[in-house]
Amino acid sequence: MRITTEIVEYAANLSRIELDGAETEKLKAELSAILDYMEILNQLDTENIEPLSHIFAVNNVTRADAAEESYPAGILSANAPNCEFAVPKTIEEL
């Protein structure tokens, strides 16, 4: 597939970028080079190659979800300008 000026202009329009004539021609050449390289890669024999999702082993790096003791409320609110926690009443009592 050859990259045409119309394809570059269409992609630029979708990307919401403005290209002048020189930028359009430069991008056309760069995209064509990418597709040419992809064609070289398509010629490789990958018959017995297992697909990868990642090139490195993916491990969960989060900590275990365990209940822990919390800080006392006085320490947490020591730097607060107002230590009264008030929520306005939203439901009327019967």
**Within a domain: residue 36?**
yes
Residue 10's pLDDT is: 95
pTM, rounded to two decimals: 0.51
By the 10 Å C-beta count (0-12 exposed, 13-18 middle, 19+ buried), 79 is classed as exposed
Report which residue type is found at 73: A
**Within a domain: residue 83?**
no
Q: What is the CATH number of the domain that holds 13?
A: 1.10.20
- Structural domain count of the chain: 1
Phi/psi of residue 22, nearest 5 degrees: -65, -40
pLDDT digit string, tens, across residues 56-80: 887 877 878 888 888 887 888 788 7
**38 falls in which pLDDT band (50, 70, 90)?**
very high
**Within a domain: residue 82?**
no
Percent pLDDT > 90 in the chain is 45
**Which domain range does residue 12 map to?**
5-42
Looking at residues 12-30, what average pLDDT do you find? 94
Residue 75's pLDDT is: 83
Radius of gyration in angstroms for the set of CA atoms belonging to the chain, rounded to a whole number:
30
Report DSSP state, residue 91.
S
Report d(CA 52, CA 4) in Å as an integer.
Answer: 33
